[in-house]
């Protein structure tokens, strides 16, 4: 009986060792690095932080009580192209400024401003001075974005309306997750 127990223990040990050996001998496909799934950032939070950063760099702007214009952010490689992401960024920064007590003019609703159908308004590709004078705006919230393999690099700016001087700027990175990819594809 002792021999049978030892025999069973030996067989069990062999099976465990054999199983571990099979698991340890993985195929060469395991050597290929697995690309991690990139999660989206909370776009609202990221864009609200950008608006707060712009305001902290130009706090005197709030004392002027002049309106601001919020423009669509454009592709840095072509200032006449934007996407759903560029429109969302501009809208959310404008929303945060409005929540902070600024008068933010919705320039897409104006008849005297050229807006390309479905593409938004492109403050960086035409005369900011001309647009802002028609709305008596102190500054324009505008910027660019660049899409990379796993990230979107965003450059947000407050641009003085009278002379196109950059009053404040803030750069940030958004992960290129599924939602951001879908918004970038919506050109």
Write the CATH number for 97.
3.40.50.10610
Alpha-helical segments (H) within 100-164? 128-135
Q: Which residue has the tokens 């929303």?
A: 95
Indicate if 12 and 102 belong to the same structural domain.
Answer: no
Q: Do 47 and 90 reside in the same domain of the chain?
A: yes
Two structure tokens written together for 32 = 């290929």
Helix (H) or strand (E) holding 181: helix 178-185
Select, from the ranges 16-20, 82-86, 118-122, 153-157, the one with the highest average predicted confidence (pLDDT): 153-157
Would you say residue 160 lies in a domain? Answer: yes
Per-residue pLDDT at 20 exceeds 70: no
State residue 162's pLDDT score.
79
Quote the pTM value: 0.71
Q: Give tens-digit pLDDT for 110-154.
A: 444 444 444 444 444 345 566 677 777 889 999 999 999 999 999
Claim to verify: residue 58 and residue 98 sit in the same structural domain: yes
Cα separation, 109 vs 95, whole angstroms: 15
Please indicate, yes or no, whether residues 68 and 152 belong to a single structural domain of this protein.
yes
171 to 104, 113, 121, 135: CA distances (angstroms): 22, 28, 21, 27
Q: Report if residue 112 sits inside a domain.
A: yes
Q: pLDDT higher for 54 or 163?
A: 54
User: Is the Cβ–Cβ distance between 110 and 178 less than 8 Å?
Assistant: no
pLDDT of residue 160: 87
Q: Is residue 76 part of a domain?
A: yes
Domain shared by 131 and 169, yes or no:
yes
Judge if 119 and 159 occupy the same domain. yes
Number of domains comprising the chain: 2
Is residue 124 domain-shared with residue 161, that is, in the same domain?
Answer: yes
Lookup result for tokens 């706090």: 59
53 in the same domain as 113: yes
Domain that holds residue 116: 43-185
What's the confidence (pLDDT) of residue 9?
A: 57
Residues 8 and 64 in one domain: no
For the chain, list the strands marked E by DSSP.
68-70, 74-75, 104-105, 139-147, 151-160, 166-175
Average pLDDT in the 47-75 region?
90
Give SS3 for 157. strand
- Report the pLDDT averaged over residues 27-32: 53
């Amino acid at each position: 009986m002792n021999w049978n127990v030892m025999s069973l223990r030996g067989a069990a040990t062999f099976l465990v060792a054999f199983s571990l050996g099979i698991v340890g001998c993985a195929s060469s496909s395991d050597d290929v690095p697995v690309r991690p799934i990139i999660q989206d950032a909370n776009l609202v939070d990221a864009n609200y932080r950008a608006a707060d950063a712009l305001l902290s760099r130009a706090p005197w702007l709030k004392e002027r009580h002049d309106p601001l214009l919020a423009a669509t952010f454009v592709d840095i490689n072509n200032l006449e192209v934007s996407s759903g992401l560029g429109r969302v960024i501009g809208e959310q920064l404008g929303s945060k400024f409005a929540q902070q007590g600024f008068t933010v003019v919705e320039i897409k609703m104006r008849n005297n401003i050229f807006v390309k159908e479905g593409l938004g308004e492109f403050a960086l590709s035409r005369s900011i001075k001309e647009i802002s004078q028609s709305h008596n705006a102190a500054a324009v919230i505008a910027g660019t974005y660049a899409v990379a393999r796993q990230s979107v690099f965003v450059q947000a700016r407050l641009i003085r309306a009278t002379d196109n001087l950059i009053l404040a700027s803030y750069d940030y990175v958004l992960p290129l997750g599924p939602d951001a990819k879908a918004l970038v594809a919506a050109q």
